[in-house]
Amino acid sequence: MDIKQLISQYNPDNPLELASTPPSAWYTNQDIAKHELNPVFSNNWLIAARCEQLQNTGDYVATEIAGQPIVLVKGESIKAFYNVCRHHAAQVMATGSGCTRALTCPYHAWSYKLDGSLAATPKFCLQSCPTKKRDNEFSWCARVPPAIIGNPPI
C-alpha cells in the first residue's frame, strides 16, 4: 500500500461520533516516517540531552537526531556538532555519553578539541594534507544551528 492510500484511510474531519485514531500502519510505515522527517523533526525542538549530562568540561553526549549523528560537548560553552570526522567521515564519538579531554576518531585517531577544532592528526603529514588548509576556515564538522542549544522559541 502506498503512502497516499495509507493517509486516505484516516479522515480527520469525521464528526466526534465517528472519530478514530489514525491507522496503526502510520506508526510503523517507513515511507510515512520519511515523509514526517523534515516537517516534523527538522523544524521543531527535540531533546538531545539532559542538562546534568553536560555540566563539566569534557562532558559529551553522542546521539542521533532526525537520522543525523550529533555530538554535544561541554567546553567553554555547550556546542553541538555533526558527529562525523572530517577525514573520512567515520563517526567520531560512539553513541552514548561520558567525559573526555578530546574527541578522538577511532578510525585513524584524528582528534578534535572540545571547541571542534582539529587538534592532532597522528601519522599524517600536516604540511601536505589538504584538510590542513581548511583548519582555520571551519571546524571539523558543520555546527548545529545555535538555536538548538539556546532557549526554545515560545
Footprint on this chain of ligand FES (rule: CB under 6 A): 85, 87-88, 90, 105, 107-108, 110
Shortest reach from residue 121's CB to ligand FES, in Å:
7
Measured from the CB atom, the residue of 103 and 114 that comes closer to ligand FES is 103
Measured from the CB atom, the residue of 90 and 147 that comes closer to ligand FES is 90
Question: What residues pair up with 90 in beta bridges, in sequence order?
Answer: none
Measured from the CB atom, the residue of 72 and 118 that comes closer to ligand FES is 118
Residue type, 140: W
Shortest reach from residue 130's CB to ligand FES, in Å:
14
Question: Is 100 within 8 Å of 68 (Cβ atoms)?
Answer: no
Residue type, 71: V
State the CB neighbour count (10 A cutoff) for residue 40. 12
Shortest reach from residue 108's CB to ligand FES, in Å:
3
Question: What residues pair up with 74 in beta bridges, in sequence order?
Answer: 78
Shortest reach from residue 76's CB to ligand FES, in Å:
24
Pairwise CA distance, residues 13 & 115, whole Å: 50
Measured from the CB atom, the residue of 12 and 122 that comes closer to ligand FES is 122
Pairwise CA distance, residues 135 & 137, whole Å: 6
